[in-house]
Structure 1
Amino acid sequence: MFIKNWLRLFSSLKKEKFSTMNVFIQKLNPITGANDWIVQNEDYDYHQEVARSAFADMLHDTERNQLYEQAIKAAIEKMHAVGKRANVLDIGTGTGLLSMMAAKHGADSIVACEAFKPMGECALKIIAINGFQDKIKVIPKRSTQLTVGDGGDIKERCNILVTEVFDTELIGEGALSTFNHAHKNLLEKDSIVVPTSATIYAQIVECPLAQNWNKIKDIFNDDGELLIRVPDSINNCLGSAAVHDIQLSQLPQSSFNTIISPLPVLRFDWSGKTPFIFERSTINTIKSEADGKAQVVFMWWDLQMDIEGKLILSCAPHWAHPLTKKKKNGVEIPWRDHWMQAVYYLPQEIIVKKDQEIHLISCHDEYSLWFNLTENLKITDVHYLNPVCECGLHVTFSRTRIGQMNDTRQRKKFLSLFDKHVNSNSVIIILSDGFYFGLTAAKLGAKKIYFTETNHMSRRILHDFINHNNLENVEVMSSLNQLKEIDFTEVTMILGEPYFISSILPWDNLLFVYLLKGMRKFLSNTVQIFPVKAVIKGIAVHFEHLWKIRSPLKTCEGFLMKHFDDLIEDSSNISDDNVEAQPLWEYPGIALTKETEIVSLDLVNVPETALKVNGSFFLHGNLDCNGIALWVEWHLDGTPKNIISTGPVSAVEVGQKINWDMYTRQGVWLFPSKAVKNIDYTFKFDFNEGSISFTSH
């Protein structure tokens, strides 16, 4: 097989007229689980980095752009009003947009720095085609490398700083050190900074839905009998302080109970008038507004763009956004994927009563935030510690995966499968990662269960479950080679969730089939295999906003952006696949078609030949199509009630919003809007290569 793959590679190279621009690299194939040798552009990493810098959704953010421009204009006018030159420094210029705004409004000198070389070169071209090449100096350096004075990068210190060095967590891109260095080395004493300050807000809630992404639940049967208890090591773990960024506006308001309404907890002064503090904690003593469990902190921030405080950019979810009250007058709340809201999980849940006094502790270091809540006035050092996962769960699995483990609908379907097929003679091999729910088969009477857990941390967690529940009929294999040690004549069932840590796209979990193939010759013909079928489905969608993350700009606030569009498109064509993974529940979309079955794969007897399917999505309604959403249905045993879908959770109605599963990521292909009646597609699955491709035309 190895030689065959090499011959195929060299054959393809001849067809492509192989040059020094292509190289062999090893890359993990998530479908086969093997490291394949592939031909790739020698600058692949470079192009991937360029493609990932496609912050077009940020430049599609009209409110952001206009607030920056208004604040820049006000700063320049203020300098001119006191008889000073307006000398602007733009840190991390990107496309050069903020610098061009400064030039448009009469800045006397403008220096823009950009450390990412391809973006700096792109900025030069954009600045030139917009006619500002004589007004803006672009320096290919980090701001911390700039020199000031005769012979330096900047002749003299600037008196206006414009920059956007923020992320969802506000300070995660090093904003504190960037501003601190600029004030010490690059700016005059009384300079104006755009934006001038930021405020972080926190809302304390009880939210079982969000807690599903953080805490694993015990497993019960339909009669309420406890089957599997979660180990104390997991229950008592403080979790991870890592930010969980989501589109909070898409979280149903009925899913949470507000314990403390949004309040400002941390303020950052970018103006330089107060010292920059890189580690800090604040305490807010407040009274609970309702009975409940304090579980989660919702966080977002706003920027004060100008000195007077007239221009405020808010990242609040819709229920707390200052524009919400104006929405009746046609004002839409801005959509942002570059600055979302964040969820932080409190290290410990606290049961509170209405009007009870509690203390919210908000902490940050140079790059991150974390929160704690206490009823005790005697605050101890532990309340200030950044929570670190010790159980392994929170560092091994994504938030989405932890939620999937808790999915009640999925649990019921597996219980139904076990009730029907597991008995005292059952010897089961489980081919999945982190399928701890499979332990219920042991409690339901299985003779023996063999888990294949190749990931060290996942294996450690599984052992904790086994020991905590005193299970003696379970054995854990650290590698697939260990399966050779078992008596395959006794095996009655092969079971997969299927889920694998290496999976990204929904069909990557077909790795189950390749693992199964390796042991088929050892299995008897009577062995039961679950799931029995995988059905890949798709639907044409009009996404309300998601298209912006891949959409060309053309122009931004009147400035031509062609060179940026070309740069991103060229690199994306080299480094990106058509389909990417997204949690579509966070991104509203209208169904333009019914669900379309693209292909049905028999997992028990997989045809080991190349499969090619052509089909069409027939569009309905007047909305343009700007994306195709794709997912997999796993048919556990062939009965309609035992189907696990990674797609919509309710019937799809054409012209209506799609309700997506919140515990998986779907595949999506985004493209410019198409006002057509149908979209033709081609789906290919090469079993031998372990490759799947989806294209539309």
Structure 2
Amino acid sequence: MSSHRAFQLKLNPLTGNSEWIVIEDNDESFAQNFHKPFLATTSYLDMLNDSTRNAAFRQAIQKTISKPCHVLDIGAGTGLLSMMAARAMGDEGKVTACESYLPMVKLMKKVLRLNGMEGRVKIINKRSEELQVGFDMPSRAHVLVSEILDSELLGEGLIPTLQHAYDNLLVENAMTVPYRATIYGQLVESTFLWKLHDFHNNEATVSDSIRLTPPGLDSVLGIKRQQYAMHVNPLQEEITLLSEPFKIFEFDFWKRPESYGETELCVKATNDGRVHVVVSWWVLQLDQEGTIYYSTAPRWISSPTITSPIGWCDHWKQCVWFVPGSGISILQGEEIRLLATHTETSFSYNFDTLVPTTEILNHRCMTGDFQLVLPPERAAIYADKEWRLSMLKAVQSMGKDRLLCLVVDDSVFLPLLVAKLSEASVMSLLPGLRERGLQYLQAVAHANGLSHSCIEVLEKNVQQLNMDDIHQKKVDLLIAEPFYVGYDGMLPWQNLRFWRDRTTLNDILSEDALTIPSKGILRACAMSLPDLWKSRCCLSSIEGFDHSVVNATLGACGHPPELEEGPCLPFFVWQCGEFDVLSETFDVMEFDFSKQICECQGKSQVKFTKRGVCHGFVLWIDWVMDLQNSIVISTGPDKKYWKQGVKLLGTPRTVDPQSLTGVQPCSAVVEACFSPLKGELKIILDFL
């Protein structure tokens, strides 16, 4: 009889349906599957490979815990901080490790057993807010060690967690590791970052006749008003710094925090420019004396407190806050007033200027009654001239004799475009947007010269659709971008849900039905990715504690014998630290959307073009939008708005297209097999 049970949602990307997986504490089948990368998409591996973070916590824990006591570790993960605390106290003292995620509890037990720490650390599989002194813990704790920080600092519930701990779980004047965190910010001008949020002004430069934010409806489509975690270092060459760094908030872990705070700052401009974003980061002071620090600052920031360089990591990034509209123009020497506020989980900023001559734009968000909220990259794609021109040409290429068009994905651009350019009746499924998409299309149809009734939204799933729903007419144009809400963090080929949808709808398609896109091409290239590979490589000893038992479960690279290579994971390659392209781009396989979905296989020889260390292969899909193969929308690594799939090697290989030693130049073969059942792509890499 198991004492614990957890449920985890798993999405089938090709159907859009989720199914519950039951995880039980004594589930033998789960234990047997631990060689599979069950937690590969989490940030645990990346975090455990952050040697600067690990060393800073070890030093601070050794310094803070100088005698036996009761230590509470909240969000214990693999138990690394718990073991550090237990070691610092010797054979005495006690550690309570609180971890709410059952798969991590299972993993922590393995790590503790491997390091002979089973009897030294008590694991509680609960949220810290559920802990009860006298039941889960023998007494209140003297020291709190925790690492429940995200890129924004507060997003993982740091404030309510600390509030509950101080009220219920800690003694008076308890010590903490970390000790304090400080938020810093800087005003920045960046055309790229501006394009990620100011949809209305960017769309105004596009020459087609579609307006997704017509005059008077400027804010009907936009992005969520929040901070976004992002690596800004790759943008350094195209960023203009408009101020010195400034301190915004300070959070003391050693006392009960407030749920809400605000501060007003006067920031002086160091350059002429337009403030597009506030870039922010935090500096962690881990010990009370202020000798041990960790920072998420961008690399252009120098700090006397940070003596060792912080390497690239993906679990903590910088944050960007978009100034609404096209920004605020400012001249060198002028001051701008910044009002910063924080809630329990997030930060927000508002501006006012002190100089009357400064141009002040209407930067307050026009909410209205309704707004369709999109991810920043999707908003940028919708305003991109090149992308829109490709879509325009694709629809024009179909001719004007189509009678019934069905848009199967969550595109709000295509229904308007087809309705505007053709005589076809337009129906749209909007599987993820549903009612919000319908409201949006109704709001902007008239402003685009269309009647409210020209686009019909079918409130049914693909599987339920029949001839009655489409008024007994066959669909002769099936179209998608493809774009599905909630898929922005997935692998490129998971958008092949479009192909599954096309197959499901086969019975309602006419014999000469046209499908756009007409096919997809899986493409790839070899890359040097030293920072990413280092963050995903297999673990051995971390600050003296053996973690080799977690490698397979976390999807580490180079973990023989079960896992020679890491799983394929989605990344914005341009944000993956240092990278270099080492081969020509090559086609791996094609997906023909005029046919029903089927198993596909492909194989390609890699032609290396540059000497270097190959850490893996980057894969993506190019969407061919017409039958003539002349309109192609690429989602490759040179495009910053799409994530690619990255398949890292177990062991990096030195490659050289022209061997100077007389030995044959290095070559490799990439083989792939696509399964239509689960939407999985199996990739085999073979160096010859």
Q: Secondary structure at the match of 1:366?
A: coil
Instruction: Kindly indicate whether residue 681 of structure 2 is the aligned counterpart of residue 693 of structure 1.
Output: yes
Q: Which amino acid aligns with 1:247?
A: H
> Given the alignment of the two structures, is residue 603 of structure 1 paired with residue 589 of structure 2, yes or no?
no
**Cα pair distance change 1:417/1:219, threshold 3 Å:** farther
1:287 Cα deviation after fit: 3.1
Per the alignment, residue 522 of structure 2 pairs with: 536
| Structure 1 partner of 2:576 | 587
How far apart are the structure 2 equivalents of 1:223 and 1:128? 61
- Following superposition, the deviation at residue 268 of structure 1 comes to 0.4
Letter in 1 for 2:636: G
Structure 2: distance between partners of 1:323 and 1:449: 65
CA deviations over 1:269-297 (Å, ceiling 9, x no partner): 1122xx52111111112233444443322
- Give the equivalent residue in structure 1 for 2:380: 403
Residue of structure 2 aligned with 1:338, choices 309, 315, 318: 315
Deviations 1:380-406 (A, max 9, x none): xxx9x9998964422xx3333222222
1:135 & 1:529 partners in 2: Cα distance? 62
Provide the residue aligned with 2:192 in structure 1: 209
Could you say what secondary structure the match of 2:300 adopts? Answer: helix
Instruction: Report SS of the residue matched to 1:69.
Output: helix
**1:669 CA displacement:** 2.7
Aligned residue type for 2:98: E
1:130 counterpart residue number: 115
Q: 2:641 is matched with which residue?
A: 663
> Could you report, residue by residue, the CA deviation over 1:610-652 in whole angstroms, capped at 9, with x for unpaired residues?
4333445466766554433211111222556521101133xxx
Task: Find the aligned partners of 1:291 and 1:530 in 2 and give their Cα distance.
Answer: 46
Q: For residue 456 of structure 2, what is the aligned residue in structure 1?
A: 476
SS at match of 1:637: coil
Task: Report the AA paired with residue 320 of structure 1.
Answer: I
> What residue number does 2:658 align with?
none
Structure 1 CA distance for aligned equivalents of residues 502 and 125 of structure 2: 52
Matches of 1:295 and 1:392, distance apart in 2: 22
Q: Which residue of 2 aligns with 1:459?
A: 438
Q: Secondary structure at the match of 1:372?
A: strand
Superposition pairs of residues 254-653 of structure 1, within 5 angstroms: 254=238, 256-272=239-255, 275-322=256-303, 332-347=309-324, 350-354=327-331, 355-375=333-353, 391-394=370-373, 397-418=374-395, 428-436=405-413, 439-440=416-417, 442-443=419-420, 445-448=421-424, 450-454=426-430, 455-472=434-451, 474-478=454-458, 479=460, 481=465, 493-501=477-485, 503=487, 504-517=490-503, 528-548=514-534, 550-565=536-551, 567-568=553-554, 578-588=567-577, 589-604=579-594, 606=595, 610-617=599-606, 623-637=612-626, 642-649=631-638
* 1:50–1:420 CA distance, 2 compared to 1 (3 A): closer
Alignment of 1:238-253 (within 5 A): 239-253=223-237
Gaps of 5+ in 1: 1-24, 378-382, 650-660
Q: Does 2:157 align with 1:177?
A: no
Summarize the alignment of residues 23-34 of structure 1 with structure 2, pairs less than 5 Å apart. Answer: 29-31=12-14, 33=15
Structure 1 residue 104, shift from structure 2 partner = 4.1
Question: Any conservation in 2 of the 1:681–1:694 contact (CA below 8 Å)?
Answer: no
Deviation readout 1:445-471 (Å, 9 max, x if unpaired): 533451413322122222222122232
One-letter amino acid of the counterpart of residue 460, structure 1? Q
Aligned position for 2:659: none
Q: TM-score, normalised by structure 2?
A: 0.78
SS of the equivalent of 1:541 reads: strand
Going from structure 1 to structure 2, the CA distance change for 1:485 and 1:336 (only over 3 Å counts) comes to closer
* 2:446 counterpart letter in structure 1: N
Aligned length: 635
Cα pair distance change 1:306/1:227, threshold 3 Å = same
Q: 1:229 to 1:632 in 2, by over 3 A?
A: closer
Task: For residue 63 of structure 1, report the CA deviation from its aligned partner.
Answer: 0.9
**Is the 1:432–1:512 Cα contact (8 Å) retained in structure 2?**
yes
Deviation at 1:344, TM superposition (A): 2.1
Separation in 1, partners of 2:343, 2:684: 47
Code of the aligned partner of 1:276? P
Alignment CA distance shift 1:325-1:279 (3 Å): closer
Cα offset for 1:235?
2.2
Query: What's the CA shift for 1:338?
Result: 1.5
**More divergent stretch after superposition (296-305 vs 216-225):** 216-225
Q: Once the 2 structures are TM-superposed, how far is the Cα of residue 72 of structure 1 from its aligned partner?
A: 2.0
Alpha-carbon displacement from aligned partner over 1:481-517 (angstroms, at most 9, x marks no partner): 4875668989875443222336433223334344445
Shift, 1:587, TM fit: 1.1
SS state at 2:323 partner: strand
Counterpart selection for 1:95 from 39, 57, 78: 78
Tell whether 2:675 aligns with 1:683.
no
Secondary structure of 2:199's partner?
coil
Once the 2 structures are TM-superposed, how far is the Cα of residue 190 of structure 1 from its aligned partner? 4.0
Q: Secondary structure at the match of 2:59?
A: helix
CA distance in 2, matches of 1:477, 1:614: 41
Q: Distance in 2 between matches of 1:371 and 1:580?
A: 33
- Give, in whole Å, the separation in 2 of the partners of 1:221 and 1:64: 45
Show CA shifts across 1:352-389 (max 9, x none). 33144322121111122222222389xxxxx9x99989
- Quote how far apart the aligned CAs of 1:313 are: 0.8
Distance in 2 of aligned mates of 1:522 and 1:152: 59
Paired residues of 1:206 and 1:292 also in contact (CA < 8 A): yes
| Contact 1:171 1:367 (C-alpha < 8 Å) held by counterparts | yes
**Relative to 1, partners in 2 of residues 1:372 and 1:526: Cα closer, same or farther, differing over 3 Å?**
same
Aligned-partner Cα distance in 2 for 1:280–1:211: 28
- Structure 1 counterpart of 2:182, from 199, 205, 209: 199
Between structures 1 and 2, the one with greater helix share: 1
